[in-house]
Structures are given as C-alpha cells and as structure tokens.
Amino acid sequence: MMSLTNAIALRLPGSKQLLSRFSATKLRRELRMGSGLVLFTYITAHLFNHALGLISLNTAEEALGIAEDVWDSLPGTVLLYGAAGVHFLLALWSIYERRTFRLPPAELLRIVLGFTLPLILINHFAHTRLAYEVFGLPSDYTNVISNLWAVDSQGMQLGLLAPGWIHGCMGLHFAFGRRPLYRRLRLVLFAIALLLPVFSAMGFIAMGRELSTNAMAAAAAQEFLGPAHAADRAGIARWHNGLLIGYFSLIGAALAARGVRNFLEHRSRRLVAISYPGRAVRVPRGWSVLEASRAFHLPHASMCGGRARCSTCRVQVTAGEDRCPPPAPDERATLARIHAAPDVRLACQLRPSGDISVVPLVRTALPVYRQPAQPSTREREIVVMYCDFVNRERVAREALAQDLLHLLTLYGDAIANAIRASGGTIGSIGPDGICALFGLDHDIPRAARLALQAATAIERAVADLDQRLGREGVRKLHKLQVAVTIHAGDAVVGEIGANDVPAHIAVGEAVDTANELRKAAAAHTAAFAISEPVTTAAGLEPAAGEKVALAPQGASGTIAASLSSAPPALPMARSALAERRAALQRLWSGR
C-alpha cells in the first residue's frame, strides 16, 4: 500500500530530494517526538504549579493564571490537544505495527505508562476546561482542590500525573540517553525527575490543608456538591465517561486489527527462515530480525528500542543478502555513522523478503571460558602467563558502552581461544587482563614451549581482532594494545569457586615474580616480558630485547627477563612436525 508521504511525493515538485531526507518513518518519529515534548512540557508545568503550593496558595494561583493564558489561548489549545491527538494516533499505529510485545521490561513499561497520558488529559478536559466552557464553573486551584478534597479524590489526581511523568522521562532517556550533553547532565536530570513529583505532591497537599481551614472554600465545595449543581456534575460525568469509552474503544480496535493482521499473516504461510548461530526460526514475512529474536527469546542487544539510533542491534548478513531490502535513510545514516561494512544491517530495520542467515555482532550473554578444574591442590612448577589489556581505559573513553562490551567479549574469546589452543588453562578473565597457567598436564619444558607458542598466537589474534573491529565499524580511535608476561617457577595450584565451573588459582613465587614482571613491562611499555627461566626451560637462548633484573620478595637472588615488542622466535611448526615424526618412528619400530 502506498504511504501518505509517497502519495504526496507524486504531487510535489522536488519531492524526491525532500523525502530522501524525510522518510515516512522519520516523519512519524519526528511527530512523535514533537508531540511528546509538548505533552511533557504541559505535565512539567502542571507539576511545577502544584509545587508552588509549598510557598502559598496565592503563589500557585498566580502561576496557574499564567499557565491558563498560555494553554487556554487558541494557539495553546490547538498545540496541546493537537499534540495529544497526534501522539495517541501514533501510539495506536505503533501497537498495530508491532509483531510481538516480547520487549525489554523498561520498553514495555514505557509503552504501558504512555497510555495513561490520555487519561490525564481526559480528566483535565472534563473537570476544568469543559466545566468552565460549557457549565460556567470556575477552574482555579481554590475550587478544584476544594472539590477534590471534599470527595476524597485528591489521591487519584496525584496518581494520574505520576505514570505520565515517568513515561515522558523514560522517553527522553531512550531518545537522548546517548548524547554527550545528556550524559554530562544525567545526575541533574535524574534529581529533577525524582524530586519534582515529590514537591508537586507536597505542594498539592499543602494547598489542600490551607483550604481545609478556609470557610469560604469549604462552603463553595459544599455548594458544588449540593443539589443545585447536580445536573452540572452529571453532565461532566457523562462527558468524562463518554471520552473514556471512546478512548478504550480505539485501543481495542487497534489490538483487534493487529490480531487480524497476525492471523492472516500466519494463515497465508508466507514464512521466512532466519538462521542464527546454532538456531533457525521461521516468522511471517514483514517481521524484523529484532522482532524475530524477541519472539523466540533469543538474546539480542537493542538500546534505542528499535528506532535505528544506537546500532547495538546490528547483525552481519552471512547469506541471503539479495533477499534484504535496501536500508532506509535512518538506517543508512546510522550505518554510515559507525562505518559499518556492506554486509552489516540493523536488526530493528531489516525485514527480509526471504530466507537469510545473520550473526548478531553485539553479544548480550558471555560464554563460559573456564575449563573444568582439577580437584588437587599442591605445589608444583608451572608457567604463569598474564595478558593485560593496556589501553582499555582509553578505548573505554572513546567507545559506547555496548561497543565496549562487544569489544571485551571478542577480546576475551580471542585471547582465551589462543591460550587453550596452545594447551593452556584459563585462570581468570577480567576487563583488564587474562591469567593463564601452563604445566598442569605437562612437564615444565613442554609447558614453557606451549606458553611461548601461545604468546605468538595472541599476537596474531590481536591483529585479527583489530581488523575485524574495523570491518564491523566499532568506533575506537586506538588499536588494541596488550602486554604479555610469562614466567616459570613454583606455585601452589588449586581451584576456587563453588559453582559447576570452578576456576584455577595459583599462589606463590611464580605468581609474585610474574606480577613484578608485569610492572616492569608497563614501565617500559613493552609488549612482551619473558623471564629467562621460561626460555631456558624451552631450550632457547634468552629472548632479544631490553634486559631487566627482578628481585621479588622471598627470592634467593635476582631473576633476569627480556622486554621486547615481539615474542621470541620459536619454530613451533618444525617442533610439532619433529614430534609427530618421532611418534611415527616409534610406532613403526614398535617401541
């Protein structure tokens, strides 16, 4: 079906250039944001007026008079009720358009609270504007609060404002939460969001208490509640109930239309298969990849709620690119901002027309890196390796939080896989570094060679990771910098943790010396720091580079080490080939 903006484009000269910058989705988003800001301004002014009751009733009345001059004027009336109508209709369209309501709790809460806004406006319109325009009843604080206090409805009035206020605050947070200015002011904004409703409630109660001792106000309230105004009250109630019935009828119609649409989509069996790593799902054509992930409870990051703003839901399309429609202007702008590769798309915007395969690029669940621990606790000679993420703090300052989590996950995977592939055991993984142990299942010469092999594998893994992050468009101005420290010595090795995957822990001279070596590497900005006991055990000459002598506590003498920008040359392929050849010769000779 042709959209409204496409229909307009057929009649407006130069519309192609205009709509290339202002798509239908962007138009709805801008209208939703603009109308929401108008409503949020109205609620904020309302709460502020109530808060002025802490000063005095007269101060609040004067502020209310100013607010009425603004909102009761023709432009103010058109702006307020027009914004309410537009925001409500767009909310109904959003309900109809959603394929699933399996959303993050915060997003679902924001949507539910948003539908309380019309309740506030209906109540305000019926008891103030309508009462004044149609029935000639005054709508100042003195009369309204006195009437509410007389019928014990003051709690309902306060309660109706809170959900709308929370909805507005959450909407602003989702829309601007990633802006630098918002981040700098977030504590101030949080204080305002928390304290303004509190002061508003206190001001409302203060005005009610002040009026409870006012004989004239009490008499006016009793007069309004008496038989003389029974017809006026009944008329206001009819208007109020009629508007509520119409409001809930429209919501029901939107939900019913959505149900019919979903039924027809499933009945037509026009399903597409979306394959994830380890699982494939089938959804009706027209669903986005993010909706498919949520419908089948697949972890999928999304910070902006599917508005093509944050890029955290991005996926790499590994198959079926020809079945993916081209990105819309919003998605194209976000992908260009993060310098995404051609095969990267936003899951919230990608609605495939056929079967595709995707890989989410921002992971939300960390894998288990640790291998099962040995039950024994004893002293032995081992090789200790530390791989430190040297410039993590600098990268963290320049990357978004989700991008940093994605980077740390990939970093942990890459380093841990390089260590395990070389025969090492992961001791611990943290944001700043990884500890590994060699020699739990090998003698010390073999453990030393495996540790040096792991150092070379780590160097390759970091280079490959830098290239991958560049292809994925992760915004980082500096390449990853790691420092690998290796030392061989005595330590007590045991396991720690009461869960199913306890971690290895080592304490003793080997660990203490390795930590001293880490400090030396950091002071000299060396990428590799390898002690002579390691190279000696591996049967190599001392590594090239700057020589340092360490004197750790408890050691009988100094320990020499080499600091360099590259790991020592170790003919691993030749050594492995020689071992296989020797094994074959032993097998052939029957030994």
Average pLDDT over the chain, rounded to an integer: 78
* Residue 472: pLDDT over 70: no
User: Is 577 a member of any domain?
Assistant: yes
pLDDT tens across 255-283, in order?
888 888 878 776 766 788 898 877 788 88
Task: Write the DSSP symbol of residue 375.
Answer: S
Residue type, 211: L
Domain shared by 36 and 185, yes or no: yes
Of the listed ranges 90-99, 140-149, 414-423, 510-519, the one predicted with least confidence: 140-149
pLDDT tops 50 at residue 60? yes
Return d(Cα 288, Cα 406) in angstroms, integer.
22
Question: For 66-85, how does the pLDDT look when each residue is reduced to its tens digit (9 = 90+)?
Answer: 888 888 888 988 998 899 88
Angstrom distance (rounded) from CA 71 to CA 569 = 78
Q: Using one digit for the tens of pLDDT, what is the confidence trace for 137-157?
A: 556 667 667 666 655 555 566
The pair of three-digit structure tokens given for residue 405, joined into one six-digit string: 């989590």
Which pLDDT score, from 0 to 100, does residue 194 have? 92
Q: Which pLDDT score is estimated for 4? A: 38
Task: Give the position of tokens 């992961």.
Answer: 426
Residue 88 structural domain: 23-263
Q: Which H, E and C letters describe 291-341, residue by residue?
A: HHHHHCCCCCCCCCCCCCCCCCCEEEEEECHHHCCCCCHHHHHHHHHCCCC
Higher pLDDT, 39 or 584: 39
Sign of CA dihedral 286, 290, 295, 296: positive
Q: How far lies 125's CA from each of 71, 200, 408, 521, 536, in Å?
A: 12, 20, 53, 71, 86
Taking a C-beta distance cutoff of 8 angstroms, is the pair 365, 406 a contact? no
Among 94, 234, 217, 216, residue whose Cα is nearest residue 149: 217
- 491 touches 512 (CB < 8 A): no
154 and 238: one domain?
yes
Same domain, 242 and 102: yes
For the cut 60, the answer to whether the pLDDT of residue 591 exceeds it is no
For the residues of 531-560, what is the DSSP string, one character each?
EHHHHHHTT-PPPSSEEEEE--TT-SS-EE
Asked whether the beta carbons of 373 and 503 are under 8 A apart, the reply is yes
CB atoms under 10 Å from CB of 300, counted, come to 23
Among candidate residues 269, 274, 298, the one with its CA nearest the CA of residue 352: 274
Q: Which residue, 263, 293, 316, sits at the end of a domain? A: 263
Is residue 589 situated within a structural domain? no
φ and ψ at residue 530, rounded to 5 degrees: -130, 125
Same domain assignment for residues 305 and 433 = no
Residue 9 domain-assigned?
Answer: no
Q: How far is CA 211 from CA 49, 50, 512, in A?
A: 16, 14, 74
Comparing 213-217, 238-242, 521-525, 542-546, the range with the smallest average pLDDT is: 213-217
pTM of the model: 0.51
In a domain, 353, yes or no: yes
Note whether 110 and 214 are same-domain residues. Answer: yes
pLDDT value of residue 465: 83
CATH number, domain with residue 504 = 3.30.70.1230
Q: Which residue in 148, 188, 189, 182 sits closest to 165, CA to CA?
A: 189
Structure tokens at 340: 């995404």
410: DSSP letter: H
Task: Mean pLDDT check: name the lowest of 188-202, 233-247, 343-357.
Answer: 233-247
Domain count for the chain = 3
**Final residue of a structural domain among 263, 291, 306:** 263
Q: Are residues 281 and 394 in the same domain?
A: no
Give the pairing of strands 546-550 and 559-564.
antiparallel
| Cα distance between residue 3 and residue 272, in whole Å | 24
Query: Is the predicted pLDDT of residue 96 greater than 60, yes or no?
Result: yes
Does 16 fall in a domain? no
DSSP assignment, residue 1? -
Strand partners, 493: 378, 506
Pairwise CA distance, residues 81 & 248, whole Å? 18
Report the C-alpha gap between 265 and 470 in whole angstroms: 39
Give which of 567, 406, 392 is closest to 480, Cα–Cα. 392
What pLDDT is stored for residue 365 in this prediction? 52
> Based on the number of CB atoms within 10 Å of its own CB, is 588 exposed (0-12), middle (13-18) or buried (19 or more)?
exposed
On whether both 76 and 164 belong to a single domain, the answer is yes
User: Could you tell me if residue 418 is inside a domain?
Assistant: yes
Residue 229: what pLDDT?
66
Please check whether residues 483 and 562 belong to one and the same domain: yes
Q: Is residue 407 part of a domain?
A: yes
Distance CA 101, CA 25 (A): 20
Query: Do 35 and 59 share a structural domain?
Result: yes
Does some domain include residue 149? yes
The residue from 360, 387, 413 where one domain ends is: 360
Tell whether 417 and 340 lie within a shared domain.
no
Q: Same domain for 306 and 346?
A: yes
Confidence band of 221 (pLDDT split at 50, 70, 90)? low
d(CA 482, CA 386): 10
- The band of 131, judged by pLDDT with boundaries at 50, 70 and 90, is low
Among the residue ranges 42-46, 92-96, 316-320, 574-578, the one predicted with the least confidence is: 574-578
Q: Where are the beta strands (DSSP E) in 390-511?
A: 425-429, 433-438, 482-496, 503-507
pLDDT tens for 16-27 read: 444 444 466 678
Expressed in percent and rounded to 5, the helix, strand and coil fractions of the chain are: 60, 15, 30
Indicate the SS3 state at residue 24.
helix
Query: With helix as H, strand as E and coil as C, how does 114-141 read?
Result: HCCHHHHHHHHHHHHHHHHHCCCCCCCH
Place of tokens 């539908």: 115
* 310, 179: one domain: no
Residues forming beta bridges with residue 383, ordered by sequence position: 438, 488
pLDDT digits (tens, 9 = 90+) for 487-502: 998 888 877 654 444 5
CA distance 22 to 12: 14
Looking at residue 155, its pLDDT comes to: 59
- Provide the 3-class DSSP secondary structure of residue 384: strand
Q: How far is CA 427 from the centre of its chain?
A: 29
Single out the residue of 164, 167, 128 nearest to residue 144, CA to CA: 128
